[in-house]
A and B are shown apart, each in its own frame.
Chain A
Amino acid sequence: MDSETFWGILKAQGLTFFSGVPDSTFGDAYNYMVNDPEIRYVPAVREDVALGVASAAFFTGGLGGVIMQNSGIGNIVNPLTSFSLMYKVPVLLIIGWRGFGGPPNDAPEHWIMGVKTPEILELLGIPCEIMEPETLESGLDRLLGKIQQESIPGALLVRAGMIG
């Protein structure tokens, strides 16, 4: 899926406030977002900082998004549990799924988190959708429905080669 289509689908859902840390999974889509005048992007220094920034959107009547690599999930476990889930502050996590399928895919540092990513999110009670380009709109609808209904974070997992 090309970057313009990907961001067009997200913007159509009212998502225009993002913070995050880059991941190569997003390739051109990251650069597209940074240069899109309709999107306000705050380049965070860590994933927990991105979560703090993006969560503010809920308080002004919107929904914020965090762009990140799955290796950063460890950095957001505390804010997810004692902020997002405890106060019920929703946010959309767009997570680059490095190490999908486990070894020998991707670099060694992604092997363990690559396998554990869905399990960790499930353990925390964070609903997930695995992005499929043909069904992104319906998948995102389903995910945003859960996010809004339960007022909690939800994650869109993006594998290499899906966008850009």
Chain B
Amino acid sequence: MIGRITAIQAIVRRVEADDLVLSTTGMISREVFVTNDRPSNFYMLGSMGLLSSFGLGLALRSPEKRVYVLEGDGSALMSLGALPLIASERPKNLIHIILDNESYESTGAQPSISSKVDLAEIGRGCGYARVVKVEDAEGLEGALQDTGDSPGPHLILVKVDIAPVKDIPRVTHAPTEIRDRFKAMVQPES
């Protein structure tokens, strides 16, 4: 397994200038923020579970943009119903990545039920165009590479370690600043 921030660094390296990157509440947004803060990132500071639905809406409204949704197992489990909705809407441009450390790490690493439930199997059952479960850096690189070769929606389940980053800062941008700069990147002409 790899640390979550290592996985996030690998994902961020694959992201191109026009791609939209959405990250869920808690440590995942903080880790994306410290790895590569950019206007095309949307940090969902609260609203656990909402991210994948918002990502679906953006993917449908901006079919020319690649949309990355980065959430944890707790967030995915909270809005599990969003998975079949994403699969049934079939946005080709959506890459849904679940960073699964089998815990609620942001609140103190309490165990989640994802150690007993295979979220990749759930994704397959929902009907994502492509589902990959990876457990190491090479697997993740390969899975990310493959998203460029076939239409989505893609689901990548990345099994990661519980590995908190010491003294990681909170996202320092105000919510409306996150909104404004993100909106300008979604719709540059406005």
B57/A57 in contact, CB under 8 A: yes
B47/A83 in contact, CB under 8 A: yes
Question: Could you say which residues of chain A place their CB within 8 Å of the CB of B54?
Answer: 52-53, 55-56, 83
Count residues of A near B (Cβ-Cβ below 8 Å).
Answer: 33
Report if A46 contacts B (CB, 8 A): yes
Question: Could you say which residues of chain A place their CB within 8 Å of the CB of B176?
Answer: 87-88
Count residues of B near A (Cβ-Cβ below 8 Å).
Answer: 32
Report if B187 contacts A (CB, 8 A): yes
Which residue of the partner chain B has the closest CB to A81? B46
Least CB distance from A66 to B in Å reads: 11
Report if B60 contacts A (CB, 8 A): yes
Contact of B84 among A40, A42, A45 (CB under 8 A): A45
Main secondary structure of the interface of A (DSSP, over half): helix
B interface residues with partner A (beta carbon < 8 Å): 44-54, 56-58, 60-62, 79, 81-82, 84-85, 89, 175-176, 178-179, 182-183, 186-187, 190
A-B residue pairs in contact (CB < 8 Å), sample of 11: A40-B60, A42-B57, A43-B85, A44-B85, A49-B53, A52-B56, A53-B54, A57-B61, A61-B190, A82-B46, A83-B44
A interface residues with partner B (beta carbon < 8 Å): 17, 19, 40, 42-46, 48-62, 64, 78-79, 81-83, 86-89
